[in-house]
Structure 1
Amino acid sequence: MSRSGVGISDEALTAYNDLKLGNKYKFVIFTLNDQKTSIIVDQTSADTDYENFLEALPENECRYAVYDFEYEIGHGEGKRNKIVFYAWSPDTAPVRSKMVFASSKDALRRSLNGVSTDIQGTDFSEVAFESVLEKVSRSAGSH
């Protein structure tokens, strides 16, 4: 349970594990149920196009997401995958929604083992591929 009293649905944890262990999804987007008592799956996708992931984030509503971020490590060393956690809280979202999402984030984040990087997004420039790539590559060098 989070400070806001919001729990995490089994479905949300299963979807995350399907992404992490089963490579079943490229991304999972989470939201709160209508009662604001549980974090549930909003949508899952195996689509590898990052732009389609960004289009799935609503312009005026908060979401959490995990994305199996694949990138080149340069000099022909191949590709790496990092699981990235997104706290999507656009400036245009209702204040109450932003407050509930902010206070529920830690409970979800703690239950997602294996996430390498956290991204806080308030507008699309902060979640653009290049911005995330820069953060992921930086965290990769420090391990």
Structure 2
Amino acid sequence: MPKGVIVDEEAVMAGYADVRDDESETKFLMLTYQDENTKIGVSKSGADYSEVLTDLGGEEGESLRAYVYLRVVTGDEMSKRHKFVLLTWCGPSVPALKKAKMSLEKTLVKNLMRSFAVEIQASELEEMALDNIMDLVRKSGGANYGPGK
């Protein structure tokens, strides 16, 4: 375990379960570094993923490090299903040492959020766009048997 960084496991697991719950409207869980970079905790959760993009696209997003767990619906006309994505955001202004530490600290997050179809690491907002994410999820799913267009 990386020294000095803890994860607020109780809050993260509650948020993770909420995103995974088919009956819940919660579509995302966003974790950020808190308490002077000593804790990874829940920053926000909700039904509108555009809130995440707003946060990451703002001035603070330039130097923000975050993990986002996202539920999306994919499939074709014959079959719709939920898929989960783990996104790692490292803003373009994050210092090199913090970027390096993040690769180790991500294991703490992945130990809690184990179930996802696609993992994306991004430092540009375009990489976090929902269209980009859905393309990667579709590609990871294999064959698509819908009638096509």
- Tell me the TM-score normalized by structure 1: 0.82
Residue 110 of structure 1 and its aligned partner are, at CA, apart by 2.2
Q: Structure 1 residues 4, 115: CA separation in 2 closer, same or farther (over 3 Å shift)?
A: farther
What percent of counterpart residues are identical? 24
Q: Structure 1 residues 5, 60: CA separation in 2 closer, same or farther (over 3 Å shift)?
A: closer
SS at match of 2:63: coil
Superposition map of 1:70-89 within 5 A = 70-71=73-74, 73-74=75-76, 76-89=77-90
SS at match of 2:110: helix
Q: Partners in 2 of 1:105 and 1:97 — Cα distance?
A: 12
Q: Partners in 1 of 2:137 and 2:3 — Cα distance?
A: 29
SS at match of 1:3: coil
Partner residue in 2 for 1:3: 2
Q: Partners in 2 of 1:13 and 1:32 — Cα distance?
A: 16
Say whether 1:52 aligns with 2:51: yes
Q: Partners in 1 of 2:35 and 2:127 — Cα distance?
A: 27
The structure 1 segments of at least 4 consecutive aligned residues displaced by more than 4 Å after TM superposition are none
Larger Rg computed on CA atoms: 2
Letter matched to residue 7 of structure 2: I
Q: Structure 1 residues 4, 120: CA separation in 2 closer, same or farther (over 3 Å shift)?
A: farther
Partner residue in 1 for 2:139: 138
Letter matched to residue 68 of structure 2: A
Partner residue in 2 for 1:17: 17
Question: What are structure 1's unaligned runs of at least 5 residues?
Answer: none
Figure out how many residues of one structure are paired with residues of the other and give that number: 137
Residue 136 of structure 1 and its aligned partner are, at CA, apart by 0.8
Residues 97-106 or 82-91, more deviating: 97-106
Q: Partners in 2 of 1:113 and 1:138 — Cα distance?
A: 20
Question: What are structure 2's unaligned runs of at least 5 residues?
Answer: 144-149
Residue from 58, 64, 68 that aligns with 1:65: 68
Q: In the alignment, is the contact (CA less than 8 A) between 1:84 and 1:115 conserved in 2?
A: yes
Residues 24-33 or 89-98, more deviating: 89-98
Q: In the alignment, is the contact (CA less than 8 A) between 1:61 and 1:94 conserved in 2?
A: no
SS at match of 1:119: strand
* Coordinate RMSD, CA, aligned: 2.1
